[in-house]
């Protein structure tokens, strides 16, 4: 069955129309085709159609297909056929089933700031697929932001600063402990992140990802250093848009992280503060419903997590 026949286009609260496209595009089942097996078959038969929608709309929300658990979600991920990419980053996560992991296991009461998944390393996902197994009673949204809108507005207000940062590049640092700390939303230890407890092997794997490391003698932790990195990126097939492909606001001046010019000089705090306001103003909010599957174009959207009351269980798969 053709994708346009299998799916019906619907709406969700918080949806926006940007450049004539619904963001996210909400797809629900046509009459009688509401099970995950039918959805998996449709996704497999219409991979190119689905991918085109994800790119055109920055995100696609599949709603009403009665997806119940990690195994059924994994079947959908496999049906899409996009290659797997292993998560590398500070968020504590646990493998659940097949290609499915928990999303950030940090405390639900904390806000996870907007970011492109794995934006700082050389190889990052093209798609991030999220599945809501247990919707939270309150809060816990996964807001996301069309990145080009942030660049457009930052250029309108700070043209010289944006171009200077892009030309000179950015330098990021992040400090991680040896072991995981699930009490922190950035508590993934370096042994888990690099899948080894051998420092020499960890250094080699860090270099392969484009990182330098400094070992901290006091507690067995490590400081990773990344850069230079661009402030914005243009990716093929996305109308030449300059994506806000960085994590300056999320890492600037924080306890465990920093973001500076590549030469180490400081980025003006007022610029960072205002960019944070722009990101929030451009964000798209929607309420999770049980069984929702959200496919985000990781090259075009930042995403985060609102504070939440328990229980909340959102699972994730990252794809090339």
Tokens of 159: 């043209």
Tokens of 146: 């069309």
Q: What is the Cα 106 distance to its own chain's centre?
A: 15
pLDDT at residue 1 in the model: 60
Dihedral, CA of residue 233, residue 235, residue 239 and residue 244, to nearest 10: -30
pTM of the model: 0.93
Domains of the chain (ranges, CATH numbers): 7-143+284-319 (3.60.130.10), 147-279 (3.60.130.10)
Dist CA 219 CA 203 (whole Å): 17
pLDDT at residue 186 in the model: 66
Omega of the bond leading into 229 within 30 degrees of 0 (cis): no
Dist CA 272 CA 165 (whole Å): 12
Facing residues of 296 across strands?
59, 128
Alpha carbon distances (Å) from 92 to 114, 191, 193, 281: 17, 12, 9, 28
Neighbour tally for 199: CB within 10 Å: 16
Alpha carbon distances (Å) from 77 to 22, 64, 105, 300: 23, 17, 21, 20
pLDDT at residue 39 in the model: 96
The residues of the chain scoring below 70 in pLDDT are 1, 33, 183, 185-187
């Amino acid at each position: 069955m053709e994708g346009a026949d299998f799916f019906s286009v619907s709406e969700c609260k918080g949806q926006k129309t940007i450049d004539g496209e619904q963001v996210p595009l909400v797809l629900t089942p046509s009459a009688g085709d509401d099970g995950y097996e039918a959805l998996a078959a449709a996704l497999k038969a219409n991979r190119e159609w689905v991918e085109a929608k994800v790119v055109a709309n920055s995100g696609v929300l599949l709603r009403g297909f009665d997806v119940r658990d990690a195994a059924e979600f994994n079947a959908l991920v496999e049906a899409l056929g996009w290659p797997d990419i292993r998560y590398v980053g500070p968020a504590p996560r646990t493998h659940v089933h097949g290609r499915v992991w928990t999303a950030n296991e940090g405390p639900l009461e904390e806000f996870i700031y907007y970011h492109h998944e794995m934006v700082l390393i050389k190889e990052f996902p093209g798609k991030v697929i999220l599945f809501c197994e247990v919707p939270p009673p309150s809060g816990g949204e996964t807001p996301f932001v069309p990145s080009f809108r942030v660049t457009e507005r930052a250029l309108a207000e700070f043209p010289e600063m944006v171009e200077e940062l892009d030309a000179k590049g950015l330098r990021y640092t992040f400090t991680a402990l040896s072991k995981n700390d699930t009490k922190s939303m950035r508590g993934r230890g370096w042994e888990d992140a690099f899948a080894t407890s051998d420092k020499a092997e960890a250094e080699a794997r860090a270099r392969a990802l484009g990182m330098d490391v400094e070992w901290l003698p006091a507690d067995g932790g490590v400081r990773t250093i990344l850069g230079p990195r661009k402030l914005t990126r243009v990716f093929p097939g996305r109308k030449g848009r300059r994506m806000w492909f960085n994590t300056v606001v999320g890492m600037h001046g924080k306890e465990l992280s920093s973001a500076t010019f590549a030469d180490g000089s400081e980025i003006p705090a007022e610029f960072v503060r205002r960019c944070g306001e722009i990101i929030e103003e451009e964000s798209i909010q929607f309420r999770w419903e049980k069984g929702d599957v959200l496919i985000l174009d990781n090259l075009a959207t930042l995403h985060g997590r609102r504070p939440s009351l328990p229980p909340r269980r959102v699972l994730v798969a990252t794809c090339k």
